[in-house]
Chain A
Amino acid sequence: MEKTVELNQLGLALADYKGKPSTLCPGCGHNAISNQIQAAVWELGIAPEKIMKISGIGCSSKSPNYFLNRSFGFNGLHGRMPTLATGASFGDTSIKIIGISGDGDTASIGMGHFKHVIRRNVPMVYIIENNGCYGLTKGQFSATSDQGLVLKHQGVNLLPPLDMCMEALISGASFVARAFSGDVKQMKELIKAALSQNGIAVIDVISPCVTFNNQDKALQSYSWGRENEAPLQGIMHFKNREDMQIENFEEGTYREIELEDGSFLVLKKIDKEYDPTDRSAALDLLTESYKSHYFATGLIYFSEVPPTINECYDLPDEPLNRIKADRLRPTRESLEAINASLY
């Protein structure tokens, strides 16, 4: 029997969304994220040319090379990814930004930029590949390492970790989620939902470092994650309402959210009530999960998207980087008027 290659609505195969072969460690949580990003973009039917990938420095930030080869990528400086994204976002607002960063990148050296890119609402999917350690420099504590964690060359971590979802939430992000590299199905749906929004969408992915920080009890390990993950909801993303097989859902057990591109997110209740549109509830959840190491994953917070930074400037519909040069230079007469006013 001849094998047929599955194509998306653009007629592209998943292979068209691949990147270079990963050079990260086999089993690295980040590879799972790369795979889910390319799957999500492919399934959504977004052309790879309509995406740009921007990253900082670290293992996580190398990974954009390993997905979406046909997308522009910029592997920038440690912690400065949000600043590059801010400037690049104005070049052509029809190009979606996937920002990839790590916990060293975002929670330490780039924390200020992280907060401010959220405050500016640069339209992008901001993925933190959070493994609780510095991998590329071979196993130092990061600002998300668990207190008391012991690493080979570091001794005991004396300081408490930062919760990046909490940081995103209090900075004003309109989409905050947490995922786990050991739960790729949920991760993919969250990435699809994030890509369907126009504002900043932050996904903190707990993504184990199999080489330096994967001890059984470590907060960012596969085993701890698998044992303790408590998804807040079952998550399914549908491009169209027709794709939704709502009849499978029992009345009152699911919630439907329409996203900015007209697609839908269905949140299926699991065991307790959780309203991701309630900011106080989200703060309570994060406070509780932080205190008691309760590993809540899923959509933590969602609200109407405030105007993006690009929308604040009343720009032409045509991409700014394609505007012809003659439309960028004011007239000779206007300069004469300026000269006259300065006499």
Chain B
Amino acid sequence: MILDTTQKSPHGSERIVNEVCMTICTINGSGSATANNILYRALFRMGIMTSGKNVFPSNIKGLPTWFVIRASARGYTGRIAHDDVVIAMNQVTIQKDIDYLKDGGVLFYADHLELPQIEKDIIVYPMPIKALMKTVDAPRNMTNYLENMLYVGIVGQVMGIPENVLKATIDHQFSGKPAIAESNFNIVNLGYQYALKNIEKKDRFYLEQLPELSDYILTDGNNAGALGALYGGLQFCAWYPITPATSLVESAIGQVGKLRKDPKTGKNTCVILQVEDELAAAGATLGAGWAGLRAMTSTSGPGISLMTENIGLAYFTETPMVIWDVQRVGPSTGLPTRTAQGDLSMLYTLGHGDTKHVILIPGTVTECFEFGWRSLDIAEKYQTPIFVLSDLDLGMNTWVTKRFEYPSQPIERGKIVWEDKLEEFKDWGRYKDLDGDGIPYRTVIGNQSPKAAYFTRGTGHDEYGNYSEDPQNWNKILRRIGLKLDGVVRDLPRPIIRRAKSDAEIGIIGMGSTHDAMIEAQDLLAEMGIQADYMRVRALPASIAVREFIASHARNYVVELNRDGQLKQILSLEISEYSEKLISISEIGGLPLTAAWTAESIYLKEKRNGKNR
């Protein structure tokens, strides 16, 4: 059973408006990203909810790459496995690309490509890319790039993107460079005018303007995370390049100079430093956190492996730091340019010995911004490393997302004490719990009180930081850290819950970037007669709301992008009294989750269990 998520059959004569999935098939390094983004943004500007997912190789030039645009006025923007429209620009993949087309689908192809035998019922529009380029006086090295602009014009016209929207989008893309914007638009318009005169529309996919999506912006999770950190008062970031986390720090580099000048002196208040490896990135971030700076690093799974030792040290020395893990597919080098949710288990107890960490799991780009600043607050308040778990899909793809909201709370620096406050304490110790919440007061370098200094160490210590092998001391410190982390839950984001229209016997549980697909799956299940409530877990350790959700459903399907169902395993352990209510649905392969696969998997399990009513 294959679910058709576009609802309407592609056969017949009915117009299909603002519901289309199209894939642009090009060769990486040819400059198609700009063209694809223009098409994508144009749809967004038309007021249509849209997603754009780049499926790209771990390579610089010459290998196939795909850009999948899904427009859905109904708001379903998760990935779908089959295309309504294919724009074929790569001879190597054209056969496969056509295979992904549904019956009744549409093929635009550059007409210098050799078209394979087509055995399905599709509509074909040849695009005379080379011939049109001959009419343009363009520099040779720009030819490949400009060919992409031609398909923007042709496809745009046939699908119904107004010319003025394309123009405005191009002006936005090249803002501040009017000459470049103009020359790009001229090529787009060449394609547009060609299509207008020469292509007779035979397919049924139409794009039509809707009211503006004025509450929304178009950006990627890595940019959002970087901005969140900069608005969160980030002061130090040490990092090492790794796909797909690199663009997070690069976004910060691009904006730190403008955003983070001290209003008083005009000097810089945030340092971003590339270091020799991830060990150094974590070490320097830890050093900065220890010295009283709001500190962060950003990496992906392989980088986390290297940072492990320092994060364990941060945990035990109770030093705040934030670590972004923009996940890619592992184990090992894995699939560096594909997405997964396979680092959850590793992070939760990262490091040897008794550890347990706090993980924030944004599921939207807007949340990447929010968790960007919140993570720094939580790290300083609880004096512990905080992970923000993103992934390639969320981090590197651009999403239509809610506008960023200015932080709703002032910057939280936690229990840092300076000279004056320190004098008030009768018997201060760096690791002494004076408030009964497990969170001690901390001093940092530069504090000129002769009482302020302490000796920080990864070895066993007493409440004053003195070396100790005493079992009671060890017990006391470790249990207090446990207590401290029990308290953190109250400051963590609660799960997002979307109820079914009527009473639901089952729950579906997801996390992170699968959000859009999960919502669509929930609705598909309803259409199939299965009411399901949906919960997106946004942090670990899990809150009481997560427990209640699980408890209140007979069966909970935990859907995730890893082999062994890591979230399901963690929830089973933490909420062990309801572990039998948890069922794992997991998918690997490196691509974003699809609603159809999810709904189908759950449907089949429900049916097989004989529990479906």
B280 with A83: CB separation less than 8 A: yes
Interface assignment of A316: CB less than 8 Å from any CB of chain B: yes
User: Which of B269, B445, B455 sits near A88, CB closer than 8 Å?
Assistant: B445
9 further A-B contacts with Cβ under 8 Å, apart from A74-B456, A88-B287, A90-B236, are A84-B284, A89-B287, A113-B283, A320-B293, A327-B269, A330-B230, A338-B227, A339-B217, A343-B216
B457 with A86: CB separation less than 8 A: no
A316 with B267: CB separation less than 8 A: yes
Q: Report how far A20 CA is from B461 CA in the complex, Å.
A: 14
A342 with B217: CB separation less than 8 A: yes
Name the segment of A33-41, A65-73, A260-268 touching the other chain.
Answer: A65-73
Known contacts A49-B453, A335-B404: A86-B287 contact under CB 8 Å: yes
User: Which of A309, A321, A330, A332 sits near B444, CB closer than 8 Å?
Assistant: A321
Interface assignment of A144: CB less than 8 Å from any CB of chain B: no
Name the segment of A91-99, A216-224, A237-245, A250-258 touching the other chain.
Answer: A91-99
Interface assignment of B471: CB less than 8 Å from any CB of chain A: no
- Which residue, of B286, B287, B413, has the highest number of chain A Cβ atoms within 10 A? B287
A-contacting residues of B (Cβ < 8 Å)? 175, 214, 216-219, 227, 230-236, 238, 258-260, 262-265, 267-271, 273, 275-277, 279-280, 282-295, 309-310, 313, 317, 403-404, 406-407, 410-411, 413, 418, 443-450, 452-459, 466-467
User: Which of A82, A313, A319 sits near B446, CB closer than 8 Å?
Assistant: A319
Q: Which of A43-102 contact B (CB under 8 A)?
A: 47-49, 52, 54, 64-65, 69-77, 80, 82-92, 94-95
B411 with A83: CB separation less than 8 A: no
Residue of B nearest to A64 (CB): B455
Interface assignment of A279: CB less than 8 Å from any CB of chain B: no
Enumerate chain A residues within 8 angstroms of B287, measured Cβ to Cβ: 54, 74, 83-89
B275 with A91: CB separation less than 8 A: no
A339 to chain B, nearest CB (A): 5
B359 to chain A, nearest CB (A): 23
B138 to chain A, nearest CB (A): 29
Interface assignment of A1: CB less than 8 Å from any CB of chain B: no
B294 with A309: CB separation less than 8 A: no
Q: DSSP majority for the B interface?
A: loop
Known contacts A83-B279, A323-B269, A328-B294: A75-B455 contact under CB 8 Å: yes
Residue of B nearest to A119 (CB): B276
0/1 string, A99-135, CB within 8 A of B gives 1: 0000000000000110010000000000000000000
Q: Report how far A54 CA is from B456 CA in the complex, Å.
A: 9
Q: Report how far A178 CA is from B230 CA in the complex, Å.
A: 43
Enumerate chain B residues within 8 angstroms of A328, measured Cβ to Cβ: 233-235, 260, 269-270, 294, 411
Number of interface residues of A (CB under 8 A): 60
0/1 string, A300-331, CB within 8 A of B gives 1: 00000000010001111111111101111110
- Which residue, of B284, B293, B444, has the highest number of chain A Cβ atoms within 10 A? B284
A116 with B275: CB separation less than 8 A: yes
Subset of 24 A-B contacts with CB under 8 Å: A48-B453, A52-B445, A64-B455, A72-B445, A74-B290, A75-B455, A77-B309, A77-B310, A80-B310, A82-B283, A83-B275, A87-B290, A88-B287, A90-B236, A90-B288, A92-B446, A112-B280, A113-B279, A316-B262, A316-B265, A317-B265, A321-B293, A334-B258, A338-B227
User: Which of A84, A88, A318, A332 sits near B406, CB closer than 8 Å?
Assistant: A332
Enumerate chain A residues within 8 angstroms of B262, measured Cβ to Cβ: 316, 323, 327
A327 with B445: CB separation less than 8 A: no
- Which residue, of B269, B270, B285, has the highest number of chain A Cβ atoms within 10 A? B269
Q: Report how far A94 CA is from B447 CA in the complex, Å.
A: 11
Enumerate chain A residues within 8 angstroms of B236, measured Cβ to Cβ: 87, 90, 320
0/1 string, A128-151, CB within 8 A of B gives 1: 000000000000000000000000
User: Which of B286, B313, B410 sits near A87, CB closer than 8 Å?
Assistant: B286
Q: Report how far A113 CA is from B282 CA in the complex, Å.
A: 12
Residue of A nearest to B447 (CB): A49
Known contacts A87-B236, A91-B444, A327-B264: A49-B450 contact under CB 8 Å: yes
Q: Report how far A335 CA is from B310 CA in the complex, Å.
A: 34
Residue of A nearest to B419 (CB): A49
Known contacts A316-B265, A330-B259: A84-B283 contact under CB 8 Å: yes
B276 with A309: CB separation less than 8 A: no
Enumerate chain B residues within 8 angstroms of A323, measured Cβ to Cβ: 235, 262, 269
- Which residue, of B263, B288, B466, has the highest number of chain A Cβ atoms within 10 A? B288
Q: Report how far A90 CA is from B284 CA in the complex, Å.
A: 10
A264 to chain B, nearest CB (A): 28
A77 with B283: CB separation less than 8 A: yes
A214 to chain B, nearest CB (A): 26
A326 to chain B, nearest CB (A): 8
B500 to chain A, nearest CB (A): 33
Known contacts A86-B283, A316-B269, A328-B269: A91-B219 contact under CB 8 Å: no
Q: Report how far A9 CA is from B22 CA in the complex, Å.
A: 77
6 pairs of A and B residues whose beta carbons are closest in the complex: A91-B291, A83-B283, A87-B287, A321-B292, A328-B233, A87-B288
A94 with B275: CB separation less than 8 A: no
Q: Report how far A52 CA is from B447 CA in the complex, Å.
A: 11
Q: Report how far A92 CA is from B416 CA in the complex, Å.
A: 15
Residue of B nearest to A341 (CB): B175
- Which residue, of B218, B289, B455, has the highest number of chain A Cβ atoms within 10 A? B455
- Which residue, of A69, A88, A323, has the highest number of chain B Cβ atoms within 10 A? A88
Known contacts A65-B467, A325-B233, A327-B263: A76-B283 contact under CB 8 Å: yes
Known contacts A91-B291, A94-B446: A335-B453 contact under CB 8 Å: no
Q: Report how far A315 CA is from B235 CA in the complex, Å.
A: 11
A73 with B455: CB separation less than 8 A: yes
Enumerate chain B residues within 8 angstroms of A85, measured Cβ to Cβ: 287
User: Which of B216, B407, B445 sits near A321, CB closer than 8 Å?
Assistant: B445
Q: Report how far A53 CA is from B216 CA in the complex, Å.
A: 50
Residue of B nearest to A323 (CB): B269
Enumerate chain A residues within 8 angstroms of B285, measured Cβ to Cβ: 87
B277 with A330: CB separation less than 8 A: no
B457 with A88: CB separation less than 8 A: no
Q: Report how far A64 CA is from B456 CA in the complex, Å.
A: 11
B448 with A47: CB separation less than 8 A: yes
